[in-house]
Amino acid sequence: MTTSAHFRSNLRDIFFNLFEVLDIGASSLGKGPFQSMDADTAREALVGIEEFAQQYFAPGFVEGDRVPLQFDGKGNVKLPPSFVRALNGYYEGGWNKLELPEHLGGYGAPPSVSWASFEILAAANAAVTFYLLGNFLAKVIDNLATDEQKKRYVPNILEHHWGGTMVLTEPDAGSDVGAGLTRAKHVAGDEYLLEGVKRFITNGDFDQPKNIVHLVLARPEGAGPGTKGLSMFIVPKYWVEADGSLGERNGAVVTQVEHKMGIKGSSTCELTLGADAPCRGLLVGNVHQGIAQMFHVIEYARMGVGTKSIGTLSTAYLNALAYTKERKQGADLTRAADKTAPRVEIIRHPDVRRMLMLQKSFVEGLRAMALWTAQLQDTVAIQGGHDAVEAKQADALNDLLLPLIKGYSSEKVYELLSLSLQCFGGSGYIQDYPIEQYIRDQKIDSLYEGTTHIQAQDLFFRKVARDRGQTLQGLLGRIKATVDAIGDTTELQVEKAALGKALGDVSAIFMTMLGKVAQSVYHAGFQGNRILFALAELVIGWRLTVQAQIALAKVGAAVGDDRAFYQGKLASARFFARQILPGIAMHRQLIEQGDLELMDVPDEAF
């Protein structure tokens, strides 16, 4: 195997999720904005995406890592040839149309299908996948901008495949986005002049598209402090005239490209606004609602980061699995003392099987959680979108789950990738195999789009405490319904008991913490990540149990690969219920006994 051919996808499990568990053929396809897509078309699209990802995205995986991006010092970044080929192939093949709504010339796939597609692309080559953000920004602009702004930008982005960025971070405004200093001075109408320095901007410049659209947060003169004082601007690399034609170079210029640990093919840029030339921008929608508007992009990016993590673990696990079925080393443990015993494939060793099952059960569980959330996004759209009263419940649940998908997947996958590598022994550490690059490319996921603790704060304060636990109770109620519905005679008694116990532990964790924060909010600071992890593990355990119910019903009649697949689903759920869910009791114990002692340790004593 070469590292260029690194990518192994799991379309079987994706199809199991979409069509056997979530039944999107009945729940999403053919409904509301997804009128014209049926199950066959969705399947064909995903088969096509998988082939495309193998042929166009995977081959650049190594080149993106080993051939540095070229920065000319004048604001221009040149991509390696395999990346240009991948991006051109994507647009020429019309794959960008999958996630676009019909009124923008797209195929109108629901989020469940487009996130499945995203997982495949990101697993094949995450760095290339990021360059596709412009396509999504067209949807955001179409949603939020004035008619005039839409006319100027949406057709241009879609027809000419312009790039896109989200521009929040500054040297002194990272997690604290509201500390941003970039200023915006009103010129006339919706036009402003921006000045400031942004950093760590993904796609800040790249040479495949003719233009790049930056969505920038900046503070208009006279606006208040914090995130509330920020507005969002469309800032193009080349100015776009009112008739849509390209104007002169705008003063948004990349002044540095970062040298990173991983995803090296993704250009991470310092973007200087208005230093040597005026930087013109348009106030999006001509309203000052910057942070709320930017959240349309942030939520997409958070789901994208979690999905990237899941795709990476999926391909890493399948690589490790293949290796452990070929590599022979040592005798079966029961004959370890017998020098004449045949050498066995390492998959026969209990410890290797343990490592494999940890990867398998988690990747299936994480994918199950993410695609179920994606289906909630389908529901939100079918019920009229974010602002519709009917969609409120599904929307709130989606919001509650996003920090789990982003925060938990990114942390857990980084941890589990070290087991993927461990399965290879020393070979995993060298670049003949892709795992060491997966690990380097993965680490970023727990950092950008809000670090893990920012996700934990979001979960506890914004998604649970703010609505007095109502949405959380709704989620826990669904899990309880599953526990109650498992009869006393099925084979899933251990799963039922483990899930019921974990449900009780998680409910107790939230009750305890609500009491503790009344004493000191530091408690939520200390325990926030643990709370996020406990809830994520409960949701994953639940989704795996739901999958096990379906697998159990089908395994008896299944033959060949299908039979092995359903047996594998049952094995994942069983392992998770026995080895992972009981750990939630430990989370509970540590949270209950948590104190504030660390705050009293003098800084000098650390």
Ligand X SMILES: Cc1cc2nc3c(=O)[nH]c(=O)nc-3n(C[C@H](O)[C@H](O)[C@H](O)COP(=O)(O)OP(=O)(O)OC[C@H]3O[C@@H](n4cnc5c(N)ncnc54)[C@H](O)[C@@H]3O)c2cc1C
Q: Which residues bind ligand X (CB under 6 A)?
A: 165-169, 174-175, 200-202, 260, 268, 444, 447-451, 453-454
Q: Which residues fall within 8 angstroms of residue 185, CB to CB, at 6 or more apart? A: 192, 193, 194, 195, 220, 221
Classify 463 as helix, strand or coil: helix
**What is the bridge-based pairing of β-strands 238-240 and 246-249?**
antiparallel
* Beta-strand relationship, 212-220 and 183-188: parallel
Widest CA span in the chain: 86
Work out how close the CB of 255 gets to ligand X at its nearest, in angstroms, rounded to a whole number: 15
**Residue 551 burial by Cβ neighbours in a 10 Å radius (0-12, 13-18, 19+):** buried
CB of 92 to ligand X, least distance (A): 26
Shortest distance (Å) from residue 133 CB to ligand X: 8
Q: How far is CA 598 from the centre of its chain?
A: 32
Positions annotated as catalytic residues are: 449
Count each helix (H run) and each strand (E run) in the chain, helices first: 20, 14
Q: Smallest distance, Å, CB 69 to ligand X? A: 12
Rounded Cα–Cα distance for residues 475 and 574 (Å): 22
Contacts with 564 (C-beta within 8 Å, 6 or more apart), sequence order: none
Task: Decide whether 167 or 352 has the Cβ nearer to ligand X.
Answer: 167
Between 25 and 174, name the residue whose CB sits nearer to ligand X.
174
Q: Which residue is nearest to ligand X (CB)?
A: 174
What's the min distance (Å) between Cβ of 129 and ligand X?
13
Nearer to ligand X, 182 or 379 (CB): 182
Cα radius of gyration (the chain): 25
C-beta of residue 306 within 8 angstroms of C-beta of residue 406: yes
Distance separating alpha carbons of residues 142 and 161, to the nearest angstrom:
15
Q: Closest separation between CB of residue 47 and ligand X, Å?
A: 31
Q: 328 vs 466, which CB is nearer to ligand X?
A: 466
The kind and range of the H/E element at 165 are: strand 163-167
d(CA 393, CA 374): 14
| Closer to ligand X by Cβ: residue 173 or 581 | 173
Q: Residue 283: which H helix or E strand, with range? A: strand 279-283
> Three-state DSSP class for 450?
coil
Residue-wise DSSP of 27-47 = HTTTSGGGTT--HHHHHHHHH
Min CB(203)–ligand X separation in Å: 7
Contact 574/398 with Cβ under 8 angstroms? no
- Amino acid at the residue 290: G
- Dist. CA 419–CA 317, nearest whole Å: 9
**Dihedral through CA 112, CA 115, CA 119, CA 125, nearest 10?**
150
Give least dist CB 465 to ligand X, A: 16
Of 200 and 317, the one with the shorter C-beta distance to ligand X is: 200
Separation of first and last alpha carbons in the chain? 47
Kindly tell me which of 175 and 493 has the beta carbon lying closer to ligand X: 175
